[in-house]
Amino acid sequence: MVSVPDGPSRGVLPEGLGEAIRGTAADIAGVLRDATDTGLPVPRSSWTVGEAAAHLAQANELMADVAAGGARTHGDGTPQSLAAANEEALAAFGERAARPLAEMITEQADAFLTAIEARAPEDVLATPLGPMGPAVFGSYLLTHMLGHGYDLALALGRPHMIDRARVELTLPFMITAMPRVADPAAVAGFTARYTVRLWGGAHFGVTIAENAVRATAEPPERPDCTVLTEPVAFLLLGLGRIEPWGAIARGRALSWGRKPWLGPRFPRLFTAP
């Protein structure tokens, strides 16, 4: 089975990605609109609901501007610099009310789609996590919205909007981003070949050698460890929203191969952007 969803539908985005971006933005807006207290804390975060929603609205606007050809600087591509840039941007943006932020999130997702579909497939865009083609950039936007949308749903006691189809559409970005967000201390002196599989068949490969990470759409020929995860758990692990041992204990992640003990170590090789 093909590991990464492919095949164009309209323009430059893979089939289903535009609909997933628009649908995820609408789902997040639906979670937010009825929120009466945006001062509630977001679990596993220093942000409130209002701050997380404001960040998401700002990020959608930034990505829409980049897709349209705007030159925007937001950190230097490292997770630490992105976090600092996020805090600086939040401090300069005072809106914390649920409904205006919900509208901004959907409006800017639509603006992104309009702009990105006008690009050529071979265009290279300067994104906050480095250069990407339009299709990978669209996958980046979806991944970012799903992560923060999950946070907002959890904080407000609402169902989240992550499902298998949407997770599979995040894989082009996840594969591209993994080498860029590898934790230097975690990969230093470590050598391993992983096959990562999602329930349902999607898969990819990750090789760690010489203090660097290489991620590929196809798995290595002789992996040391194969990691199998339920799709929602995969994304939440990758974005640092849940812990590996919790996913293992609930039967949502398991590993096998010549070195199965390397499975729980895999998510800890990366710093979530």
The secondary structure element, H or E, covering residue 150 is helix 134-156
Q: What is the mean pLDDT of the chain?
A: 93
pLDDT tens for 80-95 read 888 898 999 999 999 9
Residues comprising the chain, all counted: 273
In this prediction, residues 130-146 reach a mean pLDDT of 97
Question: Residue ranges of the domains in the chain?
Answer: 17-178, 181-269
| pLDDT recorded at residue 80 | 84
pLDDT tens for 45-91 read 999 999 999 999 999 999 999 999 988 888 777 888 888 989 999 99
In this prediction, residues 199-228 reach a mean pLDDT of 96
Distance CA 81, CA 62 (A): 16
32 three-state secondary structure: helix
What are the structure tokens assigned to 194, written together? 């992983």
In this prediction, residues 152-172 reach a mean pLDDT of 97
State pTM to two decimals: 0.93
Topology at the third CATH level for domain 181-269 = Nonspecific Lipid-transfer Protein; Chain A (3.30.1050)
Domains 17-178 and 181-269 share a fold: no
Interior/surface letters 51-69, b for 16+ CB within 10 angstroms, e for the rest: bbbbbbbbbbbbbbbbbee
**DSSP H helix total and E strand total for the chain:** 9, 7
What are the structure tokens assigned to 205, written together? 């490969």
Residue 116 pLDDT greater than 90, yes or no: yes
What are the structure tokens assigned to 265, written together? 């170590």
Topology at the third CATH level for domain 17-178 = Four Helix Bundle (Hemerythrin (Met), subunit A) (1.20.120)
The secondary structure element, H or E, covering residue 157 is none
Mention every residue, 6+ apart, whose C-beta is less than 8 A from residue 37. Answer: 49
